[in-house]
Amino acid sequence: MPAATAISRSAITAQNFSEGGPSQASTYSVVRRVTMNGTVDVENATQMALVLGAFGAPLSSLRTSMVLTERMGMMRLRTVSATPVPNTESSVFDVTAKYDQLYTWNTGTGLAKLQVPVEVDLDATPRSVLMYRSPSFSTSPSANLNTTTDIGGTKVDYAGKPIQALISQMTMRISMIVDCSSQPSGAARTLVTVFDKVSTCSNKWNSAAFPHFSGANTVLCETGSVSHVRDEYYRATFNFRWDEWLLCEQQPKTDVWGKAALDASGAANTVTWKSNVRSAINLTSIFDLSSDPTLAQQIAREGSFITYP
């Protein structure tokens, strides 16, 4: 029998589809029995490429047009393998292709589409501060606040030495899978897009309401990062912080020796608020990295798509 140059016929002999929750990929496996027009040398890469080509190139899409409105609409070919059928002189092969996607199917009232996962972690750990004055303050702390007059409150220092106290603080981590394949068309996101978003939002206050925080300038996006998951998928992670003092610190005015200037009672005479000045941005723009920003924000707020919208 001459060497094979093409596939003469093929037929699907087995299929399997598996769908998981937000933490599991949906998978589709399919087996084709492929008959070649000649003998294939399994150690010849060129000839084996003809066999494996029954499903196209790795990372090729399952559907001609990738869509979010169909359960298998964003699947790509991940692996393909071929096993010679015995007693066929290496002219017949069972070729197995495995497709998957990190998208999960979300269904609810007014909702039926694929969505990449969004994860949220919250941690309430108090922050240790040096306190000269305890509430109630005549001037409350706020973002970017730097005062020159006394903030009021109850004097709790001793001879200009502050006490160590704990104030409330909440950190929140929002992590989402980003598809950087520029699919589906019209909603392209690339690694450059992710990098720009991380760069733009890091070290910024929220200029508008943000999940779990209704007021502007109350939560800070401290840092952002991106890591490769596999193939076209990346993970973008943003770390946020809410602070009872909005990251302000109490600082006493000092005398000529650099020590806290004291009043007649022996306490710091004038205490001010000091903080780093940071700009603000609409932090909900991080959800633009997701396949559906509205749904991603809903999941970040409620932990589920069930109550969508």
Q: Write the pLDDT tens digit of every residue in 52-68.
A: 999 999 999 999 999 99
Are 131 and 139 a contacting pair, CB within 8 Å?
A: no
Global model pTM greater than 0.85 = yes
Among candidate residues 126, 79, 133, 78, the one with its CA nearest the CA of residue 101: 78
Are 40 and 4 a contacting pair, CB within 8 Å?
A: yes
Condensed to tens digits (0 to 9), the pLDDT of residues 144-186 reads 999 999 999 999 999 999 999 999 999 999 999 999 987 776 5
Are 219 and 208 a contacting pair, CB within 8 Å?
A: no
- Euclidean distance between CA atoms 127 and 243, whole angstroms: 8
Are 200 and 194 a contacting pair, CB within 8 Å?
A: no
**Tokens 């996101």 belong to residue:** 189
What does the mean pLDDT of the chain come to?
Answer: 92
Q: What is the pLDDT of residue 80?
A: 96
Q: What angle do CA 176, 228, 178 make, to 5 degrees?
A: 30
Residue 39 has pLDDT above 80, yes or no: yes
Q: Which two tokens stand for residue 134?
A: 């305890």
The residues facing 238 across adjacent strands are 174, 224
Average the pLDDT over each of 22-26, 57-61, 147-151, 247-251 and give the range with the smallest value: 22-26
Q: What is the pLDDT of residue 135?
A: 93
Q: What is the pLDDT of residue 13?
A: 96
- With H, G, I as helix, E, B as strand and everything else as coil, classify residue 192: helix
